Chains A and B, each alone.
Chain A
Amino acid sequence: MTHMKKALIVLLFLACPAHAQTDGQWILGQSTLTYHVSHPLHQTEGVSHAARGKGVCHAGQCDFLIAAPVKSFDSGDSNRDLHMLQVTRGAQFPLVSVRTRLPEGVSASDTIQADLDVEFAGQTAHYEHVLFKRLTQGNEIRISGTIPVTLSDFKIDPPSLLSLPVKNEVPVRVEMTWRKEN
């Protein structure tokens, strides 16, 4: 009977989610952030591999922060990149950052729905239920998805070429590899 009680206590202890999930932190390894700009005359993409990120887990919740220098985005044309830096006020607000909070257990599912707070060009925009795909590769987790960023979310005037402005929608494709450290 005493053994039964002990076994029950152990089972109850293990069943409690707070104890079942261990604290730790996530470190962003490789990353590719790609913005896509549509203009009536051409399509442009700017890529950055300079993002840094970290997730701190405590009491079943993980707080993530990912940030990249705005000037690290490369579209292959120096004039376009400088113009992008100007319209996004990148010299005054040099970093674009994304914050999100996820339950620790979410890393077990194939898709992740996250509410994101994106800080860019001196403004913060909130994006709800952004869907990311999750793929486990050994000790690492690969996350990919698209953040539906618009220029008006950050009070950015659409830049124009030959008096034709670019589209307001500038989706940002995210590909990240995270590794957990306990």
Chain B
Amino acid sequence: MHGIQLDEFALIIEGDFRMNWKAQKVFVGLWVLLLGLMVADHASAQEAGVTLSGTVTTSSGAVANAKITLKNAATQQTTEAQTDASGRYSVQDLPAGDYELSVSVEGFPITTMPVTIVAGVSKMMDVTLGGAPSLGDLGFSSAQIQGSPQNQALLDKRSHMLKIHQRLGLIAAVPMIASVATSFGASGRSTSSTDRYLHLALGAATGDLYFTSAYFAIRAPKIPGTQTRGQIRAHKILAWIHGPGMILTPILGGMAFSERSKGERVHGIASAHGPVAIVTASAYAAAILSVSVKF
């Protein structure tokens, strides 16, 4: 009995549901149709929004009835238009892409120029016939023609800082060479404290100049969109060798100095001071050569 009641209830529900489902299907269908129409309308509105317009002139004024031909570089499809009495033309509904604009006027050679149409952005292209070509005739955009004093200032700052980096780097090479030269007197068994202090002073001068020079290289403005290419890559890679070397060398040197000052023989990790310094100085010399000599 209970089962029958349930079945009846189920049929009633199913019937209602079927009715509702039909209504829902119609409702959803209408929505889909409406949405489709809206999307199509939006898409066509976007397509229709792209217009190429401009004025055709000669040295004596506007040119009426000039024939305008726009050829799509990808599809080779052409669109034609004509200038009005005031020399104005307009070509609408253009899809984005590269085009060749040709202007034909009796008595003048056909003038052609490249045009790039960007989706959603209407473009103006004025054409002057009979005169010398302009940068616009070559297809350069105004952004390509106009300079940026801000970008120039950035380049100037970068060059200025790198010049200081270069000068200080070269100056640092002098105490570095002297430091390497005095290391033989500072590390032997019969060394005097004067030799060690001289070596220490030269090493300290090298470090100061090195890190000041490195500061100017690291802080020089980066130019967006520039990829490191060529010998400068070797210069930068070598910095990963002499940079850590310039940190390690004085630490190990300090330890060696302390041991020698106590009258002990340089031992343990401090004995790596010499080899690390030689590798650092070699990498530094190679870094200078990498930007000085072409290979």
Contacts and interface: CB of A to CB of B under 8 A. Distances in A.
Interface of A: 23-25, 27, 41-44, 52-58, 63-65, 67, 69, 75-80, 82-83, 85-87, 89-95, 97, 99, 101, 161-163, 181-182
Nearest to A122: B147
Q: Which of A23, A64, A79 has the most CB of B within 10 A?
A: A79
Nearest to A74: B229
Nearest to A27: B112
B108 A162 contact: no
B133 A55 contact: yes
Given A42-B294, A69-B144, A95-B144, A54 B229 contact: no
Contacts of B229: 76-78
B132 A77 contact: no
Given A65-B135, A91-B155, A182 B226 contact: no
Contacts of A64: 133
B226 A78 contact: yes
Given A76-B229, A78-B232, A99 B132 contact: yes
B75 interface: no
A56 B59 CA distance: 14
Contacts of B155: 82, 85-86, 90-91
Given A56-B133, A79-B230, A95 B158 contact: no
Given A27-B112, A91-B152, 17 more contacts: A23-B109, A25-B109, A41-B292, A44-B294, A52-B138, A55-B133, A56-B109, A63-B131, A65-B137, A65-B138, A82-B223, A83-B159, A85-B155, A91-B149, A94-B147, A181-B109, A181-B112
B39 to A, nearest CB: 40
Nearest to B225: A71
A43 B294 contact: yes
